[in-house]
Amino acid sequence: MKSLSHQNMLRGQRRAMLCLIALCLLPCSIAYAERIRYGYDEAGNRISRQKEIVMSAKAKGFVPDSAPEDEADAWSTPTQHEEMVADMKIIIYPNPTRGMLRVEISGAEVPLGAQIDLYSTLGSLVGQWKNISNDNTVDITSHLPGIYIMRIALDKRRVSTWKIIKN
């Protein structure tokens, strides 16, 4: 008799633990944040801008039924993000992506040796594209869905960092 009540107690504890975990993860899935950081040289001139974006639950396809159609479409489509790095403009789209990203760099010729590095959230290098040009296609279809950090290094002083969301 004690073993049945003990098993029921363990099931109840497991359910409570799963509910607690679900409640903790729920805000993470519906959050939206945009943070911008600036880099400065020794003279105090701004030389870089880093933009981090976390998509909301609507952007992941969880659009409420009450949302107007045009608003629902805007939230469910991946967006294009751009940044000025010194004299060059970097545009990355679509983000979030299913695997194929476009990285366009304009404003000047991309220097020889420029590269794109892709890191996991644990900090390990998972992809690298060397000697990039002004128009690049980055294929991450073989990577698992999740969040990645893309670092675009034009040279030692001009570096841009992006948060990439792969669905």
Mean pLDDT of 65-91: 59
Angstrom distance (rounded) from CA 148 to CA 53:
12
- Of 51-60, 99-108, 123-132, the range with the highest mean pLDDT is 123-132
Class of residue 70 by CB neighbours under 10 A (exposed 0-12, middle 13-18, buried 19+): exposed
| Listed residue (79, 58, 60) closest to 68, CA to CA | 58
pTM above 0.85, yes or no: no
Q: pLDDT tier at 10 (50, 70, 90 boundaries)?
A: confident
DSSP three-state, residue 22 = helix
pLDDT number for residue 76: 45
pLDDT of 151 higher than 50? yes
